[in-house]
Chain A
Amino acid sequence: MLPERNQMIRRPKTDYPLLDGFRTVRIKFSKMGSMQYISHLDMQRNIGRVLTRADIPMWYTKGFNPHAKVIFALPLSVGAQSECEYIDLRIERDMPCEEIRDRLNAEMTQEMQVCEAYVPGEKADFSTIAWADYDITIRCGGMDDALPAAVEQFLSTSPVTVEKKSKSGLREIDIVPLIRTLTVALDGASTDALRTLRLHATLSTAGADYLNPEYIIRVLKDRFSLLCGDPKIEEYSIIRRRVLLQDGETEFR
């Protein structure tokens, strides 16, 4: 006999009445740990499977090739973690948001969990997102107490150029205007073999001005010769903490 699948007890989705048309539900979820190595494209495919496993009453587009609509707010580059990824779904049944959250969480690992599912406000579409807060942490040797001030100085004086890939080929951009705020701190004592440099930065996410936090790492590495020791112990991390509106302070919701 086939073993029964260990499913949480849940009502069939057909218990919930059909809506007139569809309802948009916004999902805020985390993407931590090993999930940081999963590309945006792979994420899109996998979210689709999570939605199927969770038996979410998805609304399908009407047409020759019906498909569920799942819209991602912002891309996240491979190697960056996040506590605040957003997707919008369209559902066709009146299933409560809390239940959608719980169903999804049962079908994902600890490294990817929904913190909130809700119906977004009318004017709260993803185009209102302009900034994101990041914690960027570099753990390596050879950092002295003067480094935080030097990093702040360096990243606030134009131009700091990086080469950015775009549709029209490589172009040089100055990243300083794309950094809204920046604070830098250094952990540990000067006698420690390894110390941790902590940057807290608000970076632009607006369209063509999207600043990939990887660029911050890249310019610091070059300018201050960081992360050139043993790659088994020296490392950096990027965590997206909050997504913000145009004013750079109000959290997107």
Chain B
Amino acid sequence: MSTELNHPSSACPYSSTVLKSVQKPGRYSGGEYGQIIKDKAAVKARFAFCFPDSYEIGMSNLGMRILYGVLNREEDIWCERVFDPWIDMQEEMKKHDLPLCAHESGDPLTAFDFVGFTLQYEMSYTNVLNMLDLAHIPLRAADRGEDDPIVIGGGPCAYNAEPVADFFDLFNIGEGEEMLTELVRLYIKMKDEGTYSRAAYLHEAAKTVQGAYVPSLYDVTYNDDGTVRAYTPVYDDIPKQVKKRIIKDLDTAYFPDKVVMPYVETVQDRIMLEVYRGCIRGCRFCQAGMVYRPVREKTPAVLNRQAKCLFESTGYEEMSLSSLSISDYTQLDELTDQLLSWTDDHMVSLNLPSLRVDSFTKELMDKISTVRTSSLTFAPEAGTQRLRDVINKNVEEEDLMRAVGVAFEAGKSQVKLYFMNGLPTETDEDVKGIATLAERVIRRFYETPGRPKKAPQVTVSVSCFIPKPFTPFQWEAQDTLEELERKQKFLVSQITDRKIRCNQHDARVCRVEAVLARGDRRLGAALELACREGFKFDSWDEFFDYDRWMSVFERSGIDPAFYANRVWGEDEVLPWDIIDCGVTKAYLKRERARAYAETTTPNCREHCNGCGANSLGGERSCCPNATK
């Protein structure tokens, strides 16, 4: 479509006039350094990796960087990137009938063999449907023909993707590095042999690729009270429960040695070094802490080599050590020593997000002092010790006071604290505890000798508890919207010090997220209606409209309270029982009982609590008796 005037060597499918009329056209023009271009006539399968949010967010995703490299490592497979165009671009596309295209080739998604979506958060579901719509791909898997791409999904939300099950041909359950290639290989093999048909492929994948969940091959029935009665496989030779995949040895697993370099500034515009997977902690509200088990570490020498390699190939001036709780890495000292032996000389600053207060030391602080920010973030999650014990946060108030003391002594004056309200058993006393804790942090600042000579600032950031599948709190009710909002107002009334700033998440967004998080397939109708009515970017406050969501639920016969505000029965069949994530239901029930007894559970390294994830195996894991 574009002429010789403007795109001498780029494959950008949008004309320059369209690009010049939208904000930040660099998000659509492609041509980044490091993108992978192949001869489309010479490859056997083409994969469109879609991130259902803006370019700036998608380009920051580590999973996408990894899987892009994994697939493109195969000579006969070409993986390209696709992002959700921003609103102004979508309007142009609709006005001029331009389909959604992939970045590298500029080809429409209908030209691909696979269209894969990473499902990172429930509120992006409307973007998934909208992108399918922009790509002119039939929304429902059942309506797709032999020539339509196979639409697959993966990522954390795939552990309960039932609300979007009708729109996907297949889900990847668990880590995709090996599984994704196997799925594409199977496709190529069946095409080569002439045995390929859409139905035959999906059946074969469900049968032979561990972690492949084909929702259409499982019939769901419901009880009169609306709960799930059963999932029944339509074939005898496919698993009754789909077991998640993991990468056993992260040292030998693929990790990208180069990445596509965005010209436009992105959210995580830096090296992201994945240090380990899983988490030893077992916070009872945390889905990531359960579904990414077992813990598997990389060794410092491997990490250092990967970091150096990425630095040389990207030129990034900043590096983030990423994992669920970086200070729980057993060899953090060794790793930071190895990294600092060259990062300082090259002016690369180290960034350690997800620090726990109980492991934040002066020594660690000195190591990351190259970071220019004057702010540090900690996550006590709850305001009182009682409630922190309920959620198994295993953090004492004195840990927090010691950690902020270290930060203040080192010249920091701003601290950000993350909390949640609406946690099970929470009382107004616990909510008030958030304000009290923030006040004590301020007091700690003034008690610090050698504190900075400026006023301290504590930012309290509060989200709402959302019961998530595969957590000990998966059966819990979310507080009603009225109750959440009342608690939010109450918290604001308890904060009197102007040095404390309070940001609270929109409780209405959290409620819709709760509905989707524990949703079943009947929510598909609501999501389809939402798509028809133009819902998009629902994770962005400016586009989220609670009343329209309620209207969509009502018209689709969905009672949001059934999903969000009901205490689910422990004997109930759960929509996500079809998935085996390694952690057993018996363990989750035990943990729930301990929560009500206000009893903490030691972390995996202190004591094995028999969660079941050791059955998945894993190298450099802390599980005793891990299956190798």
Contacts and interface: CB of A to CB of B under 8 A. Distances in A.
Interface of A: 1-3, 5, 7, 32-39, 42-43, 45-46, 48-53, 55, 60, 66, 78-79, 81, 107-111, 137, 139, 227, 230-237
Contacts of A43: 263
Given A38-B263, A111-B10, A235 B3 contact: yes
Interface residues of B, number: 50
Given A49-B317, A232-B15, A235-B2, 6 more contacts: A33-B10, A35-B263, A42-B263, A78-B25, A227-B17, A232-B98
Given A2-B257, A139-B5, A49 B20 contact: no
Interface in B513-527: none
Contacts of A49: 261, 314-317
Interface string B14-41: 0111111100111011111100000000
A43 B12 CA distance: 19
Nearest to B8: A33
A51 B6 contact: no
B628 interface: no
A43 B264 CA distance: 9
A32 to B, nearest CB: 6
Contacts of B362: none
B486 interface: no
A38 B26 contact: yes
Contacts of A78: 20, 25
Contacts of A234: 17
Interface centre among B10, B302, B306, B311 (most CB of A within 10 A): B10
Nearest to B25: A37
Interface of B: 1-3, 5-10, 12, 15-21, 24-26, 28-33, 92, 96, 98, 252, 255, 257-258, 261, 263-265, 302, 305-306, 309, 311-317, 346-347
B306 A2 contact: yes
18 contacts: A5-B258, A33-B10, A34-B10, A34-B26, A35-B31, A38-B263, A39-B24, A42-B264, A46-B263, A48-B315, A49-B314, A51-B315, A52-B317, A79-B19, A79-B25, A232-B18, A235-B17, A237-B5
B19 A37 contact: yes
B305 A5 contact: no
B1 A232 contact: yes
B347 A45 contact: no
A-B pairs, 8 with minimum CB distance: A49-B315, A52-B315, A34-B31, A34-B29, A231-B17, A37-B25, A237-B5, A34-B10
Contacts of A108: 33
Interface centre among B29, B30, B252, B302 (most CB of A within 10 A): B29
B8 A111 contact: yes
Given A38-B264, A235-B3, A33 B347 contact: no
Interface centre among A34, A55, A139 (most CB of B within 10 A): A34
A130 B2 CA distance: 33
B33 A109 contact: yes
A231 B16 CA distance: 8
B6 A33 contact: yes
B261 to A, nearest CB: 7
Contact of B265 (A33, A45, A66): A45
B74 to A, nearest CB: 14
Nearest to B269: A45
A236 B18 CA distance: 11
Contact of A111 (B24, B31, B309, B315): B31
Given A5-B258, A48-B315, A235 B15 contact: yes
Nearest to B33: A109
Given A5-B312, A37-B29, A236 B265 contact: no
Contacts of A33: 6-10, 31
A2 B309 contact: yes
Interface centre among A35, A38, A139 (most CB of B within 10 A): A38
A192 to B, nearest CB: 14
A137 to B, nearest CB: 6
Contacts of B15: 231-233, 235
A39 B27 CA distance: 11
B274 to A, nearest CB: 14
B400 to A, nearest CB: 31
A5 B309 contact: yes
B530 to A, nearest CB: 30
B599 to A, nearest CB: 44
A124 to B, nearest CB: 28
Contacts of A46: 261, 263
Contacts of B305: 2
Contacts of A42: 26, 263-265
Contacts of B16: 36, 79, 235-237
B457 to A, nearest CB: 23
